[in-house]
Amino acid sequence: MIRKIKETLEKEDLSEKEFNAIALEIFEYQYNRNRFYKNFCIKKGITPGNIRNFKQIPPCPQRAFKYFELTAFETKKPEYVFVSSGTTEGLRSKRYVFYPEIYDNVIYKSFKKFFLPDMDKIKIFVFFTDFQEFKQSSLAYMYKRIFEKFGKKESAYFYKNGKYLFHEFLKKTKKEKEPVAILGTSISLYHLIQYLKENKIRIKLPEGSRILDTGGFKGLKVVVQQRDLYKSYSELLGVDEKFIVNEYGMCELISHYYDANLKFYFENKNTERIKLSLPFLKWRIVDPDTFEDKKEGVLIHYDLANFDACIAILTEDTGIKRGEGFVLKGRVQGFDLRGCSLISELNLKNSGL
């Protein structure tokens, strides 16, 4: 199975038929190797023998990763254990990574295709914790890998010991003559923008510079719209909006989506901001009650690289179909419901789950 996955992930193209066949094989593999997931599938009335299409695979709710060890290798020791940033009453999703080389390959291929299609290396400036300081973060891991693989010698981290190093960043970029890539979460880059605004600083990064941000704004005490933030990136850092890319991933998933605008730009296409990924990651937008395909609804991901956990993930994210991709609309806020909804949230942990 591992060899087969590795071969599949190397492919530039994957037909629907090929994808389907491997997806069903992985489903069977996971069904037989994870008792929790098996129980769930049985309750849903689905077993490996009675489905023919990968869309029928019961998608594992993202939330279940907070309560269960969802891995196809229950007895094997993982190389890494990543946890989600979002919590439900202190619980975080856990994602066990047994084959980091597969993860690395997915990171490299996606980043290259969607963020660096025009060059092999770039100066990378990261506004996030170094992986050494935060070994449970899949994002820190991803940045580390990107930094090492694609970063030029002068690349640097600008967040250390819990502090942003904005001043050092400005010193470094002042003399900059060649394009740079800024990587960070939307929140960390929001703080950068606030710093520039408060100090009335406006810089113009060299042409070809780009920004990759990720994540939402949960935890910020103010309401921020992504489009306003991107406008600020453009105005205060001098980066063309076509060169601003949002990456969408989650701890529970190995593969990632990227805004395709930069890729489209280099292909001389309309630089529409839609999310795309590599061929081994498919998605559906469905109605959460009926699971029928919809133009707007909740996202389900089918990731062949997730062979060691659950191939199908039912997210808490809403999206809208656009062209060959989708636009991420938002994440359902965990504790924002009206009515008597939260007694369960308080005590779910103690109820045997």
Considering beta carbons, is residue 146 or 314 the nearer one to another protein? 314
Contact 307, 29 (CB under 8 A): yes
Instruction: Compute the least distance from the CB of residue 311 to another protein, in Å.
Output: 16
In our burial notation (b when 16+ CB lie closer than 10 A, e otherwise), range 117-146 reads eeeeebbbbbbbbbbeeeebbbbbbbbbbb
Considering beta carbons, is residue 1 or 353 the nearer one to another protein? 353
Positive or negative, the CA dihedral 330, 319, 41, 70 is negative
Instruction: Compute the least distance from the CB of residue 225 to another protein, in Å.
Output: 12
The CA-based diameter of the chain, rounded to the nearest angstrom, is: 64
| One-letter amino acid of 336 | D
Residues engaged in binding another protein (CB under 8 A): 36-37, 39-40, 43-44, 61-64, 66-68, 221-223, 287-289, 296-298, 314, 316, 318, 332-333, 335-348, 350-353
Instruction: Compute the least distance from the CB of residue 66 to another protein, in Å.
Output: 8
Considering beta carbons, is residue 228 or 296 the nearer one to another protein? 296
Instruction: Compute the least distance from the CB of residue 316 to another protein, in Å.
Output: 6
Instruction: Compute the least distance from the CB of residue 216 to another protein, in Å.
Output: 12
Considering beta carbons, is residue 203 or 320 the nearer one to another protein? 320
Considering beta carbons, is residue 160 or 218 the nearer one to another protein? 218
Helical residues (DSSP H) of the chain, grouped into ranges: 2-10, 16-33, 35-43, 100-115, 138-150, 166-174, 186-198, 226-237, 261-266, 343-347
